[in-house]
Amino acid sequence: MKILVTGGAGFIGSHIVDRLIEEGHDVVIVDDLSTGKKKNINKEATFYKCDIQSSRLEKIFQKERPELINHHAAQMDVRKSVTDPAFDAKSNILGLINLLECAVKNGARRIVFASSGGAIYGEQNTFPATETHPAHPLSPYGVSKLSSEHYLYYYQKVCGLEYTSLRYGNVYGPRQDPHGEAGVVAIFTQKLLKGEQPTINGNGMQTRDYVYVKDVVEANMAVMNNKINDTFNIGTGVETTVNQLFKLLLGITESELKEVHGPEKKGEQKRSCLESKKIFKALDWEPGVSLSEGLENTVAYFKGD
């Protein structure tokens, strides 16, 4: 099958590309390399450096005629979305619409969309959150992801484009970018290995649902070939505080650095945890990598082992 992966040079997207090629699929990557990296691009894939908002995207679709789209290209920095909501909307909403229009016009039959559990639900009322939890996003990023899901529903009902939306927890693992605000596992890991002092925001009691990138890849593989038009949480159902995460990484990196706290980040979500029973019942997917094993693999990657 010919599959187009947007954001295929990025953290999660590049792992998905590798897995698709391993399965024998013909893969086309569209990535503007604003956050993706050339070194992540699988040499067996066809690569186009292109922004999903560009009119060039139509020509790529006309030439390649993908059957399926895996959409991971996005503006994913929550704090940047707060400071520049218009930029976030252009990338995440207008970019998606351009992609969907190209898909419908050129015969694509299905799209798998990378959404966000934590950002869409906002401050949760129940733990872990199911897919029916009220959606009250507290950032333009979360609003854009929720809006995108509504557009997917519209294009399915009106244009017949099949879709599955995957609401990720906090994905971590090899290739995650340690620069910028996203990816606390990568940020802490790189600093600890360099002997630099990481700073924990606030009291460190904020929780996240950390899900390993290989498990996320398998969730994408599970939804690719079915005809289910639906939304699924992709998480572990386990809350881990930032303080707990830091202590685990201290042990794995054998660092003697101390726990240092800084100011609380304004608007940072307090708790986030996702229930994934729905996708287990529908497609038999569940996370298989424990946090300790995933962190060990991540540290080994950053060490170059």
The predicted structure's pLDDT at residue 267: 74
Give the residues across from 105 on adjacent strands: none
Q: Which two tokens stand for residue 294?
A: 């995933």
59 and 97 share a domain? yes
Kindly report the CATH number assigned to the domain that includes residue 225.
Answer: 3.40.50.720
Whether 25 and 115 map to the same domain: the answer is yes
The CB density around residue 82, as the number of other CB atoms within 10 Å, is: 15
Please indicate, yes or no, whether residues 261 and 294 belong to a single structural domain of this protein: yes
Question: What's the chain look like in SS3?
Answer: CEEEEECCCCHHHHHHHHHHHHCCCEEEEEECCCCCCHHHCCCCCEEEECCCCCCHHHHHHHHHCCCEEEECCCCCCHHHHHHCHHHHHHHHHHHHHHHHHHHHHCCCCEEEEEEEHHHHHCCCCCCCECCCCCCCCCCHHHHHHHHHHHHHHHHHHHHCCEEEEEEECEEECCCCCCCCCCCHHHHHHHHHHHCCCCCEECCCCCEECEEEHHHHHHHHHHHHCCCCCEEEEECCCCCEEHHHHHHHHHHHHCCCCCCCEECCCCCCCCCCCECCHHHHHHHCCCCCCCHHHHHHHHHHHHHCC
Q: Is residue 282 situated within a structural domain?
A: no
Q: Is residue 7 part of a domain?
A: yes
Same-domain pairing of 229 and 187? no
Shared domain for 100 and 248, answered yes or no, is no
Specify whether 217 is located in the same domain as 250: no
Q: Which residues of 169-190 are buried (b: 16+ CB within 10 A; e: fewer)?
A: bbbbbbbbbbeeebbbbbbbbb
This prediction's pTM:
0.97
Instruction: Quote the distance between the C-alpha of residue 153 and its chain's center.
Output: 20
Backbone phi, psi, residue 125, to 5°:
-95, -30
Q: At 97, list the tokens.
A: 């619409």
Residues involved in catalysis = 141
Q: Are residues 179 and 220 in the same domain?
A: no
Q: Is position 278 within any domain?
A: no
242: domain CATH number?
A: 3.90.25.10
Residues 87 and 179 in one domain: no
Q: What is the pLDDT along the chain (305 residues), one digit of tens a residue?
A: 999 999 999 999 999 999 999 999 999 999 999 999 999 999 999 999 999 999 999 999 999 999 999 999 999 999 899 999 999 999 999 999 999 999 999 999 999 999 999 999 999 999 999 999 999 999 999 999 999 999 999 999 999 999 999 999 999 999 999 876 679 999 999 999 999 999 999 999 999 999 999 999 999 999 998 889 999 999 999 999 999 999 999 999 999 999 999 999 877 899 999 999 999 999 999 999 999 999 999 999 999 96
Are 258 and 198 part of one and the same domain? Answer: yes
In a domain, 283, yes or no: no
Does a structural domain hold residue 281? Answer: no
Domain that holds residue 153: 2-171+211-234
- Kindly state whether residues 30 and 166 are assigned to the same domain: yes
Domain identity same for 41 and 190: no
Q: How many domains does the chain have?
A: 2
Cβ burial of 92 (10 Å; 0-12, 13-18, 19+) is buried
131 and 50: one domain?
Answer: yes
